[in-house]
């Protein structure tokens, strides 16, 4: 049986599948050529991340497909219900990348409160001639300890973000349409563990109380954050989006940082991928990464192994 990992898969995942007798193909096939390639090579399983889309046209035109796998959480690039109606299994790895995404959120947070995103741009340019001026510009940083972190969406990733926030001494609050309360277990290196109960609060309350907001919701039809929501946030607050492009109105976001309503913002997922708007890319108050939340070696290993295990359980 043949597996096409069109957006790549970890060596550990490949090794696990090949050991079980699967042929793993890691050729990246262009979207418009996928149907022909799948049929020519009689592909049984296609694995994707966020780049490749598996829509109804592929599902209808490729009778050899038995499994569609998504390396990650969100499956908005797959017509999931339609595939399942055609008896094609659709799998993903919802827990494998949670810790990696959460750590990226805090990379942006630590960088934001100490202006690293801007300092790293300007030090190479002016560090030798304007050192004292730059030191003054970047000297008004803030600590995260004691501040309030608001988490919108308290699923697996949101809970990992909460754990790090608690470890940093932050007050953690959360809003979630589908959850009233949950217990966060924070594990330490010496096998000790502490439990923290989080009671979710209304979204409007979270907007008013948070010093920093981290967004962890699936793809939405409409914006969750626009001009109205930004205006309700604290003056000088900040927001991080490592969830999905389109949950934040980027035009309203730029306006909010430009008029100093927000002190900074961080974006890992964009409205227009893979070609984010130039006005977003060039704004000096935005901390930006190219959709790398799950892109750690550890997460990719977990994703590959978990996908391989699910494929073997279904087909063997």
Q: What are 24-30's contacts with CB under 8 Å, separation 24+?
A: 29/4
Read off φ and ψ for residue 109, nearest 5 degrees.
-65, -50
Catalytically annotated residues: 244, 273, 291
> Is 187 buried (19+), middle (13-18) or exposed (0-12) by CB count in 10 A?
exposed
The whole-angstrom separation of Cα 73 and Cα 100 is: 12
Number of neighbours of residue 115 by Cβ within 10 angstroms: 21
In contact, 206 and 231? CB cutoff 8 Å:
no
**In a 3-state reduction of DSSP, which class is residue 48?**
strand
Read off φ and ψ for residue 237, nearest 5 degrees.
-70, 175
The whole-angstrom separation of Cα 244 and Cα 239 is: 14
Nearest to 93 by CA among 164, 9, 4: 9
């Amino acid at each position: 049986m043949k597996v096409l990992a069109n957006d790549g898969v970890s060596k550990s995942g490949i090794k696990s599948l090949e050991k079980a007798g699967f042929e793993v193909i890691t050729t990246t096939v262009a979207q418009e050529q996928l149907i022909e390639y799948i049929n020519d090579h009689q592909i049984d399983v296609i694995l994707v991340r966020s780049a490749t889309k598996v829509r109804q046209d592929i599902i209808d035109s490729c009778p050899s497909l038995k499994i569609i796998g998504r390396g990650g959480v969100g499956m908005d690039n797959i017509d999931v219900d339609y595939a399942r109606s055609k008896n094609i299994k659709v799998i993903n790895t919802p827990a494998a990348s949670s810790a990696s995404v959460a750590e990226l959120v805090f990379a942006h947070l630590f960088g934001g409160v100490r202006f690293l995103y801007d300092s790293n741009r300007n030090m190479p340019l002016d560090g030798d001639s304007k050192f004292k001026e730059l030191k003054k510009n970047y000297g008004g940083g803030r600590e995260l300890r004691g501040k309030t972190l608001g988490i919108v969406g308290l699923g697996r990733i949101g809970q990992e973000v909460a754990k790090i926030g608690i470890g940093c001494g932050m007050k953690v609050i959360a809003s979630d349409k589908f959850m009233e309360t949950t217990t966060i277990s924070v594990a330490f290196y010496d096998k000790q563990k502490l439990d923290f109960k989080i009671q979710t609060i209304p979204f409007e309350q979270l907007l008013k109380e948070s010093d920093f907001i981290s967004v962890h919701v699936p793809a939405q039809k409409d914006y969750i954050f626009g001009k109205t929501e930004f205006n309700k946030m604290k003056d000088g607050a900040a927001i991080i989006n490592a969830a999905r492009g389109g949950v934040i109105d980027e035009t309203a976001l730029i306006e909010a940082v430009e008029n100093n309503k927000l002190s900074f913002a961080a974006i890992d997922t964009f409205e227009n991928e893979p070609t984010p708007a130039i006005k977003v890319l060039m704004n000096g108050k935005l901390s930006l990464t190219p959709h790398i939340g799950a892109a750690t070696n550890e997460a990719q290993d977990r994703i590959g192994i978990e996908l391989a295990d699910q494929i073997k359980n279904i087909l063997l």
